[in-house]
Amino acid sequence: MLFPFFPLLLLTLPSWARAQPTQRACNNSPLLCSKPYDIITHLGAHDSPFVRTPSNNFNSFGNQFFNTTTQLDAGVRLLSAQVHAVTSPTTGLREWHLCHSICSMFDVGLLRDWLLEVRVWLDTHPNEVVTILIVNIDAASAVELLPEFSSADIARHAYVPKTGVGVTPPPSTPSASSWPTLEEMIDAHQRLVVFVTNIQPDSNNAPYLLPEFTFVWETEFEVVGLENFYCLPDRPGGLTLDTAKSSGRLFLVNHFLYWNQAFGIQVPDVRFLNVTNSMSGVGSLMDHMRDCGQQYAQLPTFVLVDFFNVGPAIQTVDVFNGVTEPVGRRSVSSDVFDRHFGTIHRSGGRERWSVKGEYGALLAFWSLVFLS
C-alpha cells in the first residue's frame, strides 16, 4: 500500500533491471551495478562539509553531525556544498572557500581541501559512484575552479557526458537510459559526477563541470513546516510537472526544514528531525519520496537531507532502490547531537522538542519573542 506506483514501474522495467546481480557491489549493493545512474535514488547530504561538532560549539548553521568521509562510509552518495570567494589576506587573490551563507558565520576552509577528502575516499573505494553539487554563490568560472580540482587531483575520476557539457540529455525511456550504468561508469573510470550552479559550460577546459540546471531540476528548498513538502518544480524556473518529466533533467527532491530566526536568518531545524528523516508520517522522507514518485511515475534520482544519520535516512532510500542487504557500509549513531538545545523525545507517537540544561530558559524566551 505504500507504493501503489510500483506495479506500473515493474511492468515497464527493461532487461537491465531484471538481470541477476553481479559479484561486484556498486554503491553498496550488487543489485545496483547494472542499473543506470538516473534510475537509482542517491542519498544526499545537504551542505555536507558544514558539520556541528564540539570544536565549533555545535554551530547552529551546521547541517550534519558527521564529516564527509563518514557520510560516504555510511552510504551517502551525493554531497552538496556552498562555495564563496574570499580575498586572501596574504596574497590579495580570490580563494574559494566553503562557507555557510556568509563566510563570517561559518567558514570551513578551502574547496580544494574538501575535494581532496572526497578524492582520497574515491581512491580507496573503487566500486562507488559519487555526485558533488557545488552551489556556486559568487559565480566562479570553470577556469577559476580548475585549480581547485587540479590541486585535489580529483578530475581524473570525473564523468564527461557524451551529449556535451552544456546539453540536456534526452529523456530516458524504459528501454534505453540516457545515462550509463554504475558499472559502466566504474569501468570507464568516470565515477564522479559534478554539478555546479551559476556556471557557464566550458567544454574545452572543464567538460566535467556540468551546469546543474541543464541536467537537474529541484523541488522547493526553503521549506518551513512539516506539512509544506511538495513535489512541484522550483528550479529552474518555468517548469511544470509535465515539462519537468519530459525535459530529460534528473529529479532532485529537497527534503530538509529551515527554522526561522530573528532578522530573517534561517538555520537547519533540528526540532523535528525524527519526523523529517523517518519512514512514516506527515513530513517524513518516505511520504515525500512516495508522493513525488506517484506524481511523476518515476523515482527521484537524488534526495537531499540534513543530518543524514537521523532516521537513518538511508533506510528509506534503500527501500526505493530495492536494497535489502547493503555491502560495506559503516554503521553510525542515529542520535541527534546538540549539547546546547537538548534532545528529541517521542511523545504519543510524535516527536517533540524538549529543552533542557542551562540554555533551556534562554531558548524558550528566544522562541517566544523572536521566532516567526
**Percent of the chain whose pLDDT exceeds 90:** 73
**Does residue 238 lie within any of the structural domains?**
yes
pLDDT in tens, 100-146: 988 988 999 999 999 999 999 999 999 999 999 999 999 999 999 99
Domain count for the chain: 1
Which residues are designated catalytic?
46, 100
**Does residue 353 lie within any of the structural domains?**
no
Q: Of 6-10, 59-63, 95-99, 335-339, which has the strongest mean pLDDT? A: 95-99
How do strand 258-260 and strand 302-305 relate by DSSP bridges? unpaired
**Does residue 255 lie within any of the structural domains?**
yes
- pLDDT at 339 (0 to 100): 55
**Does residue 291 lie within any of the structural domains?**
yes
**Does residue 98 lie within any of the structural domains?**
yes
Closest listed residue to residue 164, CA positions, set 248, 252, 240: 248
Instruction: Read off the C-alpha cell for 165.
Output: 557539457
pLDDT in tens, 42-70: 999 999 999 998 888 888 889 999 999 99
**Does residue 363 lie within any of the structural domains?**
no
Mean pLDDT of 285-302: 95
**Does residue 20 lie within any of the structural domains?**
no
CB atoms within 10 A of CB 162: 9
Closest listed residue to residue 343, CA positions, set 367, 363, 370: 363
Pairwise pLDDT comparison (362 vs 108), residue with the higher score: 108
Domain that holds residue 287: 41-338
CATH of the domain at 174: 3.20.20.190
**Does residue 213 lie within any of the structural domains?**
yes
